[in-house]
Amino acid sequence: MSEKKVVIIGYGTGGMTAAAYVKNYCRECKVIVFEKRPYPIYHPCSLPDVISGYLKPEDIIEKEPMTPGLEFYVSTTVTRIDRDNKKVYYKGPNGEGEVEYDNLVLAMGSIPWAPGPLKKALELNNIYTLKTPEDAVAIRTKALNSKTAVVVGAGAIGIETALALHELGLEVYLIEALKEVLPGALDPDVGKIAHRIIEEHGVKVFVESPVSSITESNGKLVVEVKEEKIEADFVVMATGMKPNTQLAAEAGLELNERGFIKVDDYLRTSDPDIYAVGDLIVTKDYVTGKPTVSMLATPAFHQGRIAGLNIAGYEKKYPGTLAPFILQLENLAVGGVGLTKTRAEKMGLKVKAMRIQAWDKPHFMPDAEKAYIKIVYDPSDGRILGGQVACKRCNASKYVDLLSALIRNRATVEDLVYTETSYMPRVSEVYSPLFVVGESILRRLKKI
Amino acid sequence: MSEKKVVIIGYGTGGMTAAAYVKNYCRECKVIVFEKRPYPIYHPCSLPDVISGYLKPEDIIEKEPMTPGLEFYVSTTVTRIDRDNKKVYYKGPNGEGEVEYDNLVLAMGSIPWAPGPLKKALELNNIYTLKTPEDAVAIRTKALNSKTAVVVGAGAIGIETALALHELGLEVYLIEALKEVLPGALDPDVGKIAHRIIEEHGVKVFVESPVSSITESNGKLVVEVKEEKIEADFVVMATGMKPNTQLAAEAGLELNERGFIKVDDYLRTSDPDIYAVGDLIVTKDYVTGKPTVSMLATPAFHQGRIAGLNIAGYEKKYPGTLAPFILQLENLAVGGVGLTKTRAEKMGLKVKAMRIQAWDKPHFMPDAEKAYIKIVYDPSDGRILGGQVACKRCNASKYVDLLSALIRNRATVEDLVYTETSYMPRVSEVYSPLFVVGESILRRLKKI
């Protein structure tokens, strides 16, 4: 059997998983990985825990690749893809080189992004982005010598960073341009609940507040928001990520209008020998079948699996993503999966939604609280299209994952009512909040 | 509209839920509830928390019925059902009485049971059963003045009681006649994992150890197990419950050979005007459609709902139960749903099972641990038939509930692989243990 060369560029969740599946499912494959970091991989979702000190940077860095037997290059950047000759050119600690490929996997992930007017601010002193363990250490070091911080952007990373900084004793401002925190991920009504919980921690939250400028003044930064000027020792820009697709663009691969790589159901790019997975692709929404972008580790993992199996000779379609997400700390738990109402309406879909509040644990337990659950559904047949949850200490990941399983199975709200859930007062009520919202919807649909 | 009289005997989970649904969904119904306790309801699953002192007895007692507008009799026993004249006779604090019914709901629950040779021991001093808050208080009071206790029966109640007593500083022996702890609920291989965790707490566990006698000697109790004699200050008999169906038997309703009331898909007894719900019925297993008994609050709740809706004029079938259960404390989490392998094989079904160990949270988290997951499946089509989980601090209820939803949807192990789950290092790994076991089974079935 002749050897098959598989080159993987980038060893985040997507690249790591693709490498593992090719290695484990293809005997004749040789897997070569290029990673620009000086170590194979780190765990980006734990960066806020490094800022707070809950974890040390070395806890979240892996010194060895996750799969043995890979040809692995660290501190090495791929500089060019030559599709005609099926070669990649790279530059590493030992100089430049080139390597041929039979299949190539693009998994270079994403890079921090700031909206136009703030791009320049990224060059100021004491402005940080949070993408790497080194960033987290720099922010922590600065925070330990500071009193006031501004976090711009109230997505998951922004919220976690703000809470971590607040835990370190800083006065923290969290500023969001859009209507509510976690825009995109949650509908504004559920975002508002998360917003209130974050404020209860002591973080000052401003929504609908685009930052108009960030300037330096006497060693401080001044963040201008609407009529207000906030002075801070430093600023963290958590305004989002953009796909790291310059290399792909230069190679002439098809991108969408926002610069994400287009892939087919097998996760092949416009060049069928080249696959792409993770943050840098535009993929398929499981519910609608429409293109979507989801810069989350869960879909990157599943995409890496599918691409790896396809390279190994299986023919597997990627079914699309429901993008389940969770932000769960000691006193804040929010999550969602599938379509939000906002997104469905933007797509012109006729959906309905119901939001309820119900006990996460029985009311008599000392740590009992009510969880907010919102379900987006198709009123014509009761099919569940999406769900959101917000609470302080409830088991949000349980609700999100159960909804993910149900939506994948094209289940209806009736299934929320008839799914039996485990009961023990220490962890759950005899009927889940999902039962409560399901029954409320059934009643509204006159289907009880 | 003429009034319809609905009489409910017993206000546990099943009776309470039936009462709520009749009241809320039937305008012309008058709901009369008879409860022999001096208060409407308590939360039996929290009794071990009363023994340990985590909760006070008053925390788990409800002084008012859970639904307003019921005609409610406490401290009142129904002494006879006259089916011919559709009347029940009762005896309460104000003497005897009778009331007519259009529909009757039997929800008298269960009463502690001990196997033949130990029945007599129940009459000794310092032998306890655990069914009511008063029992829990008596056990706690005794425990606070004792050094050694024996718990007979390692079902959920026995295990929780043993751990609660151990928390109070006692030397505790937990004795089980069958092969492993949680017999029936778990396969022995998963039971053995729970067994080891319970022993790590410091409880002494004996399995395959039927108690041959319990006798008194110098104010102590002597429990004889195999060749051993264990001396203890007191003994808790957690050897199970039997259905409280004397009244139903006297009324001539059909019972099965073990004394459970038979019901049809609408939860009607052999008398179509009389419904029965909860611990005292033999119901349907969702997976096999065969008769099953499950003395758990979750199915009692769903049965109460169905019976209540049917009395209110809806025609709802009870789909059967998957009997999801969970036992989740600070350092012990076990659970299960659907068929065990043991049970499937007893029924002559050709099933396969796979048990794996996989990270509940990422390996780098300080509180990370691996969860044991076992899946029982149909090898002909990969359909999931049951699942079990055991670990110390993992999110067992999440796995059990997700499996419950999948089994209800007749899903296959492929769904375990393709269900996207939410990721955040504080609560979950990027791929769930359910993914890991699902993929292992797919590989074995050569379906990857």
* A 324-383 residues inside an 8 A Cβ radius of B: 324-329, 335, 337, 362, 364-366
Average of pLDDT values for B29-36?
A: 98
Residue B325 resides in a domain: no
Question: Looking at beta carbons, which residues of chain A come within 8 Å of B60?
Answer: 364
Residue A56 resides in a domain: no
- Mutate: best of A22, A401, A435, partner B, most B CBs <10 A: A401
Question: Looking at beta carbons, which residues of chain A come within 8 Å of B419?
Answer: 401, 404-405, 408
Are A85 and A271 spatial neighbours (Cβ–Cβ below 8 Å)?
no
**Total count of domains within chain A:** 3
* B136's tokens: 């829990």
CB contact under 8 A, B419 and A405: yes
Triad B340, B344, B350: Cα angle to 5°: 125
Among A43, A325, A335, select the one facing B364 at the smallest CB separation.
Answer: A43
Nearest residue of chain A to residue B411 (CA atoms): A409
Average of pLDDT values for B421-425?
A: 98
Residue B418 resides in a domain: yes
CB contact under 8 A, A420 and B324: yes
As to burial, measured by CB atoms within 10 angstroms (0-12 exposed, 13-18 middle, 19+ buried), residue A30 is: middle
Q: What backbone torsions phi and psi does residue A203 show, to the nearest 5 degrees?
A: -80, 140
Residue B326 resides in a domain: no
Q: Mention every residue, 6+ apart, whose C-beta is less than 8 A from residue B216.
A: B124, B125, B126, B222
Average of pLDDT values for B140-150?
A: 98
Nearest residue of chain B to residue A431 (CA atoms): B298
* B346's tokens: 């007893």
CA distance A29 to B374: 33
Q: Residue A2: its pLDDT value, please?
A: 84
- Do residues A105 and A246 both lie within one domain? yes
Q: Mention every residue, 6+ apart, whose C-beta is less than 8 A from residue B448.
A: A25, A309, A314, B439, B442
- Do residues A105 and A145 both lie within one domain? no
Question: Looking at beta carbons, which residues of chain B come within 8 Å of A43?
Answer: 362, 364, 425
Could you give the C-alpha distances from A25 to A307, A405, B371, B442, in angstroms and in order? Answer: 12, 26, 25, 13
CA distance B256 to B267: 15
Q: Residue A116: its pLDDT value, please?
A: 85
Q: Which residue has the higher pLDDT, A94 or B354?
A: B354
pLDDT in tens, B229-275: 999 999 999 999 999 999 999 999 999 999 999 999 999 999 999 99
User: CATH number, domain at A377?
Assistant: 3.30.390.30
A448 contact B CB<8A: yes
- Do residues B307 and B365 both lie within one domain? no
pLDDT in tens, A296-318: 999 999 999 999 999 999 999 99
Residue B274's region, left for phi above 0, alpha for psi from -120 to 50, else beta, is beta
* A82's tokens: 């030559």
As to burial, measured by CB atoms within 10 angstroms (0-12 exposed, 13-18 middle, 19+ buried), residue B415 is: buried
pTM for this entry: 0.97
* A446's tokens: 């006159």
* B 41-80 residues inside an 8 A Cβ radius of A: 43, 45-46, 49, 55, 59-60
CA distance B425 to B413: 25
The per-residue pLDDT of chain B, averaged, comes to 97
* A 282-311 residues inside an 8 A Cβ radius of B: 296-299, 301-302, 309
Length of chain B as a residue count:
448
Question: Looking at beta carbons, which residues of chain A come within 8 Å of B327?
Answer: 424
CB contact under 8 A, A427 and B397: yes
- Do residues A118 and A193 both lie within one domain? yes
Average of pLDDT values for B124-128?
A: 95
Of A196, A223, A239, the one marking the end of a domain is A239
Could you give the C-alpha distances from B202 to A195, B52, B133, B163, B167, in angstroms and in order? Answer: 44, 16, 26, 9, 10
CB contact under 8 A, B420 and A408: yes
- Do residues B271 and B177 both lie within one domain? no
- Do residues B399 and B430 both lie within one domain? yes
Give me the domain span that covers residue A437.
Answer: 332-444
Q: What backbone torsions phi and psi does residue B137 show, to the nearest 5 degrees?
A: -65, -40
Question: Looking at beta carbons, which residues of chain B come within 8 Å of A295?
Answer: none
User: CATH number, domain at A133?
Assistant: 3.50.50.60
Among B400, B402, B409, select the one facing A411 at the smallest CB separation.
Answer: B409
Among B296, B365, B419, select the one facing A408 at the smallest CB separation.
Answer: B419
CA distance B445 to B354: 11
- Is beta strand A41-42 parallel, antiparallel or unpaired with respect to B261-262? unpaired
CB contact under 8 A, A400 and B422: yes
CA distance A428 to A405: 19
- Do residues A99 and A216 both lie within one domain? no
Question: Looking at beta carbons, which residues of chain B come within 8 Å of A430?
Answer: 13, 297-298, 301
Among B398, B408, B424, select the one facing A398 at the smallest CB separation.
Answer: B398
CA distance A77 to A99: 13
- Do residues B90 and B185 both lie within one domain? no
Residue B49 resides in a domain: no
Q: Give how far B401 is from chain A: nearest CA, Å.
A: 5
- Do residues A94 and A127 both lie within one domain? no
- Do residues B190 and B289 both lie within one domain? no
Question: Looking at beta carbons, which residues of chain B come within 8 Å of A421?
Answer: 298, 324, 397, 400-401, 404
- Do residues A78 and A130 both lie within one domain? no
Residues of chain B above pLDDT 70, percent = 100
CB contact under 8 A, B324 and A422: yes
pLDDT in tens, B56-87: 999 999 999 999 999 999 999 999 999 999 99
CA distance A146 to A140: 10
Triad B192, B195, B200: Cα angle to 5°: 130
Are A232 and A215 spatial neighbours (Cβ–Cβ below 8 Å)?
no
Question: Looking at beta carbons, which residues of chain B come within 8 Å of A329?
Answer: 426
Q: Give how far A350 is from chain B: nearest CA, Å.
A: 25
Is residue B146 over pLDDT 90? yes
- A371 has which bridge partners? A358
Question: What does pLDDT average to in each consecutive run of 10 residues of chain A (448 residues)?
Answer: 92 98 97 97 97 97 97 98 98 96 98 89 94 97 98 98 98 98 97 98 97 94 94 97 97 98 98 98 96 96 98 97 96 98 96 98 96 98 98 97 98 98 97 98 94
Q: Mention every residue, 6+ apart, whose C-beta is less than 8 A from residue A68.
A: none
Are A313 and A23 spatial neighbours (Cβ–Cβ below 8 Å)?
no
Among A46, A298, A406, select the one facing B405 at the smallest CB separation.
Answer: A406
Q: Mention every residue, 6+ apart, whose C-beta is less than 8 A from residue A316.
A: A266, A306, A309, A310
* B 385-404 residues inside an 8 A Cβ radius of A: 395, 397-398, 400-402, 404
Q: Give how far A90 is from chain B: nearest CA, Å.
A: 30
Are A148 and A231 spatial neighbours (Cβ–Cβ below 8 Å)?
yes
CB contact under 8 A, A325 and B422: yes
* B 120-159 residues inside an 8 A Cβ radius of A: none
Residue A235 resides in a domain: yes
Question: Looking at beta carbons, which residues of chain A come within 8 Å of B309?
Answer: 448
Among B362, B411, B431, select the one facing A301 at the smallest CB separation.
Answer: B431
Average of pLDDT values for B322-331?
A: 95
Widest distance between CA atoms in chain B: 70
- Do residues A149 and A133 both lie within one domain? yes
Local confidence band at B2 (pLDDT 50, 70, 90 cut-offs):
confident
Q: Give how far B237 is from chain A: nearest CA, Å.
A: 21
Of B239, B255, B284, the one marking the end of a domain is B239
* A 24-43 residues inside an 8 A Cβ radius of B: 25, 43
Residue in this structure with the two tokens 């794996």, named with its chain if needed: B356
* Per-residue buried b or exposed e for A343-360, using 16+ beta carbons within 10 Å of the residue's own CB: bbeeeebebbbbbbbbbb
Q: Residue A1: its pLDDT value, please?
A: 61
Are A325 and A128 spatial neighbours (Cβ–Cβ below 8 Å)?
no
* Per-residue buried b or exposed e for B26-35, using 16+ beta carbons within 10 Å of the residue's own CB: beebbbbbbb
Q: Residue B432: its pLDDT value, please?
A: 97
Of B210, B239, B268, the one marking the end of a domain is B239
Residue A389 resides in a domain: yes
CA distance B265 to B282: 11
Q: Does the ipTM surpass 0.95? A: yes
* Per-residue buried b or exposed e for A377-390, using 16+ beta carbons within 10 Å of the residue's own CB: bbeeebbbbbbbbb
Q: Residue B117: its pLDDT value, please?
A: 82
Nearest residue of chain B to residue A402 (CA atoms): B402
CB contact under 8 A, B397 and A395: yes
- Mutate: best of B426, B436, B442, partner A, most A CBs <10 A: B426
Nearest residue of chain B to residue A61 (CA atoms): B364
Residue A57 resides in a domain: no
CB contact under 8 A, B420 and A402: no
Local confidence band at B1 (pLDDT 50, 70, 90 cut-offs):
low
Local confidence band at B89 (pLDDT 50, 70, 90 cut-offs):
very high
Nearest residue of chain B to residue A296 (CA atoms): B423
